[in-house]
């Protein structure tokens, strides 16, 4: 069941919220917890009922490990190691068995094979979430008075189950225990509907519209076709915008759905393409994943406590694993390694520069431009089906012999010729105009967090450096005007949904 689908928007979500509203009259936290847990498990099982036993088994197993760590504190470390190992083994079997087997076959010249393994939905997200729970419990950062029902909902809560954010146990359980959880908060409901409408618009109108141009170019690259300069850059930038609106649209809808039930999810996306450095980018893009990699991988490896060389090695290893987490393919590993090198260069430059450099408007623009181009280059490998396909796109991006715009000017002039009838509007003009419009929104418009002035539990500090012009600042209020705007966004999104059908969010594959 996709957030941007008729089933979710007009059946599942209204029914779940309607029953929730009736249960709030009883004032029973337990009934509400039980109902949302059942609804979340149904939501997960909607995709494929065979996924559900794997999810439930993972939840029960980790809960029992947690209880054992509380009951036998002298064996906490052994239990932690065993629990984390089993979690990684489960993830490794379902997600990486074919990848490692194919890699071994290519290296050794063998031909080993196994049967088809069906990848359970969201296994990467709920596995990381439960590993974080066990580690925090071991570190004494978790309360020890929770129960199975709370834990079931913590893992399976449908707004964040499929593609995050990666939530810490205490961030949700403390909210489950509040009196506000079992009441109807009309302001939260209004804000939630607005956030859902914004996210729905981003996905159905922006992401799915620009996707056709990105797919055409990367499909051509996968087929080995030669790409021109503008064609390759158009495809790379189109995918850059598609991924932005697709992922941020999902986060907005997840945030809005949680708000309907008085739950604030942690901040996970904050205008990442406005970043002035790669360090800043990873404080804005998939913030909860960055937090997980930092707290449970980079810092345990030693962080920056053992000298610069060790720090840079830890950064590179962390990002390589982060790339592999995104997908079982060498292009994802390379993308992670590329961002690892970006971070090493960024930290190295900061250490060399110190406090001497001045910050002028030009230097900020140059920093933004270099950062954005580095991000676009990385997305080519992230999107491409293989290294040859990525290299084909990159070759087109540097094919300066095709940089002349004259063929496009000719096509445009030919379209305007008054004596020619039946000439359709050049397709590249649609794509260019759409790309320009989406870029203006990304680079200058306020994000959903700013519009709704959302507060999040125990989240990372909100990144600085907002480049939104003051005249574009927009602050949501529960007024008729915003209600009309929300309705208009929803209607437009439904129209586009009928045009482009239902498409899964890109992060569902991870």
User: How far apart are the C-alpha atoms of 152 and 172, rounded to whole Å?
Assistant: 11
Q: Is residue 75 annotated as part of the catalytic site, yes or no?
A: no
User: How far apart are the C-alpha atoms of 474 and 495, rounded to whole Å?
Assistant: 25
Element (H, E) at 154: helix 148-156
177 Cβ contact partners less than 8 Å away, ≥ 6 residues apart:
29
User: How far apart are the C-alpha atoms of 392 and 225, rounded to whole Å?
Assistant: 8
Please pick, among 146, 169, 286, 326, the residue that the annotation labels catalytic. 326
Half-sphere exposure of 45 (CA within 13 A, CB side): 12
User: How far apart are the C-alpha atoms of 342 and 315, rounded to whole Å?
Assistant: 10
Residue at token pair 């390379």: 334
Residue at token pair 């609106």: 245
Longest distance between any two alpha carbons in the chain, whole Å? 88
- With vertex at residue 280, the alpha carbon angle to CA 277 and CA 284, rounded to the nearest 5 degrees, is 135
Respond yes or no on whether the N-terminal peptide bond of residue 455 is cis (omega within 30° of 0).
no
Instruction: Tell me which residue of 267, 268, 260 sits closest to 180, measured CA to CA.
Output: 260
Helix (H, G, I), strand (E, B) or coil at 269: strand
172 Cβ contact partners less than 8 Å away, ≥ 6 residues apart:
153, 154, 157, 263
Backbone angles phi, psi at 285, to 5 degrees: -100, 125
Active site residues: 326
């Amino acid at each position: 069941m996709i957030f941007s689908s008729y089933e979710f928007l007009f059946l599942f979500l209204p029914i779940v919220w309607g029953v929730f509203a009736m249960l709030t009259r009883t004032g029973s936290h337990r009934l509400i917890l039980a109902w949302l847990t059942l609804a979340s498990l149904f939501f997960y099982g909607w995709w494929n009922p065979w996924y559900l036993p794997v999810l439930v088994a993972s939840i029960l197993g980790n809960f029992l490990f947690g209880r054992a760590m509380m009951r036998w504190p002298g064996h906490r470390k052994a239990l932690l190691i065993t629990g984390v190992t089993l979690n990684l083994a489960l993830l490794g079997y379902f997600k990486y068995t074919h990848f490692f087997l194919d890699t071994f076959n290519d290296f050794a010249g063998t031909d080993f094979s196994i049967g088809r393994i069906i990848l359970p939905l969201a296994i990467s997200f709920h596995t990381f979430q439960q590993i974080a729970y066990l580690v925090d419990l071991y570190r004494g950062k978790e309360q020890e008075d929770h129960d199975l029902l709370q834990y079931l909902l913590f893992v399976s809560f449908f707004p964040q189950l499929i593609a995050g954010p990666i939530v810490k146990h205490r961030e949700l359980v403390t909210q489950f225990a509040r009196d506000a959880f079992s009441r109807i908060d009309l302001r939260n409901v209004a804000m939630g509907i607005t956030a859902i409408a914004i996210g729905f618009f981003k996905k159905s109108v922006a992401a799915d519209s620009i996707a056709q141009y990105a797919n055409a170019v990367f499909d051509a690259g996968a087929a080995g076709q030669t790409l021109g300069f503008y064609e390759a850059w158009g495809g790379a930038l189109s995918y850059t915008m598609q991924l932005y609106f697709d992922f941020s649209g999902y986060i907005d809808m997840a945030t809005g759905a949680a708000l309907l039930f008085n739950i604030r999810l942690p901040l996970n996306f904050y205008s990442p393409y406005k970043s002035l450095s790669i360090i800043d980018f990873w404080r804005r893009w998939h913030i909860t994943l960055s937090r997980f990699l930092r707290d449970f991988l980079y810092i345990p490896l030693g962080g920056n406590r053992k000298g610069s060389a060790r720090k840079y090695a830890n950064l590179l290893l962390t990002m390589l694993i982060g790339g592999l987490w995104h997908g079982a393919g060498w292009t994802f590993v390379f993308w992670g390694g590329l961002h690892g090198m970006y971070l090493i260069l960024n930290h190295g430059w900061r250490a060399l520069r110190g406090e001497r450099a001045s910050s002028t408007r030009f230097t900020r623009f140059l920093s933004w431009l270099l950062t954005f181009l580095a991000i676009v280059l990385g997305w080519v490998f992230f999107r491409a089906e293989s290294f040859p396909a990525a290299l084909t796109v990159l070759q087109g991006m540097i094919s300066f012999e095709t940089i002349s715009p004259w063929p496009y000017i000719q096509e445009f002039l030919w379209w305007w010729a008054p004596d020619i009838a039946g000439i359709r509007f050049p397709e590249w003009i649609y794509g260019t105009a759409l790309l320009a419009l989406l870029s203006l929104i990304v680079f200058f418009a306020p994000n959903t967090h700013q519009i709704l002035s959302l507060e999040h539990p125990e989240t990372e500090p909100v990144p600085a450096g907002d480049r939104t012009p003051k005249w574009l600042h927009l602050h949501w209020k529960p007024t008729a005007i915003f209600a009309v705007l929300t309705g208009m966004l929803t209607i437009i999104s439904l129209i586009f949904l009928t045009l482009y059908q239902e498409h899964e969010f890109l992060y569902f594959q991870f």
